[in-house]
Structure 1
Amino acid sequence: MTDIPKQRILSLDTLRGFDMFWIIGGDIFFKTLGKQTSWSWVDSIAKQMDHAAWEGFYAYDLIFPLFMFISGIAIPFAMFGKIEKGGAKKEIYYKIIKRASILILLGLIYNGLLTFQFNTLRAASVLGQVGLAYLIASIIAINFRSFKSIFIWVIGILVFYSILQLAIPIPNYPAGTLTPEGAINGYIDRIFLPGKLYGKVFDPEGLLCIFSASAITLMGTLAGLILRSNSLSPYKKVILYTIIGFSLIVIALLLSSWYPIIKSIWTSTFNLLTGGISFILFALFYLIIDVWKFQKWTFLFRVIGLNSITIYMATCMIDFKATATFVFGGFSTFFGNLQPAILILCMIIVEWVFLYFLYKKNIFIKV
């Protein structure tokens, strides 16, 4: 494939911002609104704003893997051009390792590192998984830059991971036991992860989950390779994304009867399903924003997407809800029973204004 020059992909920033919107309060807003109203459409959305207890899938289960898919799309744009211009891989490796290290540190801070309660500190984290999965995917992508090679790696990771989960027994449990206690994920986490585990006997961001998540990051890299190519027209790219997306979804659903879709241990079927949905979502955003050029509405989400790590960390460091209550508490009383939902909406507005201030000052904190 020949490649187009590196450029800002508005659909990518918008989709990242759309994804983060649900993390910074969109989920709570709809759950709160669902409790306060009898609106069926709101209740339908609200029911999707939780993670599946174990097996199964809700829309909210897509948030994390979609973010990792998006980070994978950026890999060809961020790295391949430098290599093709003769840049030293050593420098790129340094940047990748630095990024992963910073994300691990930020994840520990998010989990309470600064309290210095090391015995009960959770070592695994969302940002740590993002950083390490990105590290694995980037190293693979740098050394195997063709679509075919990376595609083989994706298949290899998914197959190898399924073998680990389905064919390797652990003490007191036969092979293929996919329960919190019996899955190999929890067994590895209990041995090697210090501090507390999120699920007590396992961690959804544990060591094997990180390895599994590198597959969906590489799926994003495949999407990035398609996007970067100028041998395909924009409409052909959309069609290809859609075909790949639906194919992955169908495969995941067909396999799920004997290999369940479980986010908490990132089964390969979970990767296939969320990867398929991510391909389709990106196809939709790319078509509307970058092909059809309907772009004015994207600003709302792009402001969030351009400082995604910043707002993620800020939500654990700044009490946006208290600010919203202080400023809009009186205003919210005019809405009667809807007051709790209105206050959540105002909190999101305060968060957005904070990000808009950074945007206007041209402050983009990236890792």
Structure 2
Amino acid sequence: MSAAKSTRLLSLDVFRGLTVILMLLVNNPGDYTRYYRPLAHALWHGCTPADLVFPSFVFIMGVALVYGLAGIRSQPKQHPVALWRIGRRMVVLLVLGLLIGLVPYFYFTSFRIPGVLQRIALVYGVCSVLFLKTSWRQQLWIGGGLLVVYNVLLQLVPVPGIGSANLEPATNLGAWLDRKLFTSSHLYLNQQGWDPESVLGTLPTIVTGLLGVLVGQWLRRPGSDAPTKAVWMLVGGSGLVLAGLVWNGWFPINKALWTSSYVLYAGGISVLVLAVLYFLVDVQQWRGAWTKPLVACGSNALLVFFLPEALERLLTRLKLHDAHGTVFYARDWLYEHLFTAHIAHPYHASLAYAVCYTLVWIGILWVLYRRRIFFTV
């Protein structure tokens, strides 16, 4: 059986595992003010490796849903059952995302409503329905249309109460819409009144998911051999990166706004990474000790997103008292006593914390994988 007809892409699992590891390194520095630049998000316009984590997850999700729903797509009578399952998964992801915002105090009057899991839930639902009900050509046109419409909305439509269209954090059209839908206390950066996972920004994120859907259909396409598919993915990914860089000239690459140029640029990089991994892992069958830990990390992506985030929120808010009655936070104590006390350079200490925290979770994921324990929705 050829790689293209396989029911599961090991290369996709490896890609997911790599993304999980990068996510842990990016999200968990010892000191949030001391980052090495590749592990820090761009201040506004621009793109760093850290800015590729979220779109990689969305792209991988798009590819995976093709493999999960391909058997049902050609059976319209089964679509109602599939849509019910899709809706249920959306609700579970939305609830988990809201729960992260509530931990640990459960202040319902000031928790964050938009979020990463919430956006993933919406994108998953829309992309799943589009895959079931439309052709790849229609998906391509829908994706292109959304990118153009989003560009027009952010750069040409005046912002009510503010003035002309702009791309500034708190005064762009997406930020205005978020403040209309939610109070500032329910947004991530409530002191400025904007959120990086804005409602309007979900539109171009759908296109990132559709890129994954299109690549998934290409990989399952009969009639082409696997090496040829890998080559065309390299060509297509390079074209997307180039198109993103060109579009960047008038609609800057920006992760927080999820601009159309960012969709093409980050999506193109995801296609390139998957193309290389597909050729090495699924075509050349280059597997072994290097793939197993990555597959283990990717096999519980939802768990490793939710629990480390929840634990981090608990540690940063858990107050402790020493013998003299001094109050301090658990995470600060761990960082100071285990890292800064032994590593003089603050940036090295911050990175060491992130690496150790990541290794701990890799170990946990490896144990779960060996015991065949997987958390899914």
**TM > 0.5:** yes
Q: How does 1:147-296 map to 2 (within 5 A)?
A: 147-194=136-183, 195-199=185-189, 200-296=192-288
* Residue pair 1:261, 1:267 contacting (<8 A) in 2 also: yes
The Cα shift of 1:186 comes to 0.4
Kindly tell me: are residues 332 and 213 of structure 1, through their superposed partners in 2, closer, same or farther at Cα, counting changes over 3 Å?
Answer: same
1:15 paired with 2:4, answer no
The Cα shift of 1:120 comes to 0.9
**Aligned equivalents of 1:132, 1:73: Cα separation in 2:** 16
The Cα shift of 1:172 comes to 4.0
Q: Which moved more, 1:282-291 or 1:62-71?
A: 282-291
* Residue pair 1:332, 1:342 contacting (<8 A) in 2 also: no
The superposition leaves residues 308-366 of structure 1 with CA deviations (integer Å, 9 ceiling, x where unpaired) of: 0101111034469989x99xx88999988666655543332221221122112211111
The Cα shift of 1:85 comes to 4.4
* Residue pair 1:71, 1:134 contacting (<8 A) in 2 also: yes
Residue 312 of structure 1: aligned partner: 305
* Residue pair 1:161, 1:212 contacting (<8 A) in 2 also: yes
Identity of aligned residues (%): 27
Residue 126 of structure 1: aligned partner: 116
AA aligned opposite 1:132: L
AA aligned opposite 2:216: G
| Greater share of residues in helix | 1
**Aligned equivalents of 1:336, 1:171: Cα separation in 2:** 50
SS at the partner of 2:112?
coil
- The number of residue pairs the alignment matches comes to 349
* Residue pair 2:61, 2:209 contacting (<8 A) in 1 also: yes
SS at the partner of 2:256?
helix
Kindly tell me: are residues 89 and 330 of structure 1, through their superposed partners in 2, closer, same or farther at Cα, counting changes over 3 Å?
Answer: closer
AA aligned opposite 2:89: R
Please give the TM-score of this superposition, normalised by the length of structure 1. 0.86
* Residue pair 1:26, 1:348 contacting (<8 A) in 2 also: no
Please give the TM-score of this superposition, normalised by the length of structure 2. 0.84
Pick the aligned partner of 1:53 from 39, 43, 58: 43
Residue 349 of structure 1: aligned partner: 359
> RMSD in angstroms over aligned alpha carbons?
2.8
The Cα shift of 1:229 comes to 1.4
SS at the partner of 1:88?
helix
AA aligned opposite 1:285: L
Q: Which moved more, 1:264-273 or 1:191-200?
A: 191-200
Gaps (5+ residues) in structure 1?
A: 36-42
* Residue pair 1:213, 1:266 contacting (<8 A) in 2 also: yes
Q: Which moved more, 1:168-177 or 1:262-271?
A: 168-177
Kindly tell me: are residues 257 and 300 of structure 1, through their superposed partners in 2, closer, same or farther at Cα, counting changes over 3 Å?
Answer: same
Kindly tell me: are residues 259 and 340 of structure 1, through their superposed partners in 2, closer, same or farther at Cα, counting changes over 3 Å?
Answer: closer
**Aligned equivalents of 1:193, 1:224: Cα separation in 2:** 36
Residue 24 of structure 1: aligned partner: 24
